[in-house]
Amino acid sequence: MALVELTWAIRAKRHVLCGAIVARWIASLFGLPSSGVMHFPEFRYNQSFAMGTSNPQSQQKTAAVISRPDRPEVGELVPGLLRWLDEHGYQVITDAETARYCPGKGIVSRTEMGARPLDLVVVLGGDGTLLSAARATAAIDVPLLGVNLGSLGFLTDVPPQAMYRTLDAIAKGQATIESRALMTCELVRDNEVIGSHLVLNDAVVNKTTLARLNTYELYIDKVFVSSYSSDGVIVATPTGSTAYSLSAGGPVLMPSVAALLITPVAPHALTHRPIVVPDSAEIEILLRSNDEAAYLSLDGQPGLDLRSGDCVRCRRSQHHVNLFRTGSDFFQVLRSKLKWGEREA
């Protein structure tokens, strides 16, 4: 019976770690009462949890520092940050943008950081900098601490004055981690995938500045939905629902909602409205443009040129982005950033 329980626990790794069941199994093998063995904390998928702490001298840890290069605050924050990381047993690497403030530290490009065994990533900048860091490190599921040096800060919600307080909470295992879903976006041309990308906010199929309306065919799980004559179509994650999609008239989704959002941009027909679908769905946008130009933009980055007949395929990724949060609830963030309920004096 004990071996059956152990097998069940291992297979259920997405929901509950098998510590308590392993403890009962060990007890049954050695004839110990269950109260006489170690009990392990339960960990549930996609929930906040307290990180365990370790002796900095007994285990080498690695932290990466990524920053926005044109912010003067970076030079003010980095020296103290490096001292804190050194005192807490971290080996530090930086991207090229931060290297001038970190003499003697290893320089690693952002694209290569996803291949490093990182324990912590500190991002100094705005949401755009964090989006770049998230895409670069998504494959290793390392938690990111975003320190807001930008103007909005939906994702980088830790202000500079709270950076050390949050770092101390991380060191004590008391920091809150929030898991955000990523989306995989593929560009398919002539039935061949010519590009695959991870996206945290959104994928946008759009016309160029001087082009006229394009035509887009939308399919969900291979089922035809509609044909849009519009400037473009946005496919957004719940995190991206407060980005471009919001300005195009899309709804706000809580980050915990298991869904994807499809929002047409300036559609010619007023009956074309945003659509929310389960994140298990596969979304395909087929471009029918004839001679009109179009491009694909991922998380607001410079676009990839598209041709008529190209297909943009989006679905939920197996990877997540883990963000350290200050504890503010989602609606408090909306009230603060979007000025909900405020009137001009």
Domains of the chain, each with CATH number or no CATH: 2-36 (no CATH), 61-174 (3.40.50.10330), 182-318 (2.60.200.30)
Rounded mean pLDDT of 308-327? 93
Q: Are 226 and 286 in contact (CB under 8 A)?
A: no
| pLDDT value for 60 | 82
Set 119, 127, 157, 231: catalytic member: 127
Average per-residue pLDDT for the chain: 83
Rounded to whole angstroms, the Cα distance separating 15 from 67 reads 35
Q: What radius of gyration do the chain's Cα atoms show? A: 23
The residues facing 234 across adjacent strands are: 204, 263
**pLDDT for the residue numbered 302:** 83
> pLDDT band for position 200 (50/70/90)?
very high
pLDDT value for 82: 96
Q: Which band of pLDDT confidence, cut at 50, 70 and 90, is reported for residue 128?
A: very high
**pTM: predicted TM-score of the whole model, two decimal places:** 0.80
> Which pLDDT score, from 0 to 100, does residue 210 have?
66
Looking at the predicted structure, is the pLDDT value of residue 292 above 80?
Answer: no
Residue 190 φ/ψ, nearest 5 degrees: 55, 45
**127 assigned to active site:** yes
- At a CB cut-off of 8 Å and minimum separation 6, what does 235 contact? 183, 185, 202, 203, 204, 260, 261, 262, 283, 285, 312, 314
Token readout for 122 is 């500190």
Between 32 and 261, residue with greater pLDDT: 261
* pLDDT grade for 23, boundaries at 50, 70 and 90: very low
Q: Is the pLDDT of residue 189 over 90?
A: yes
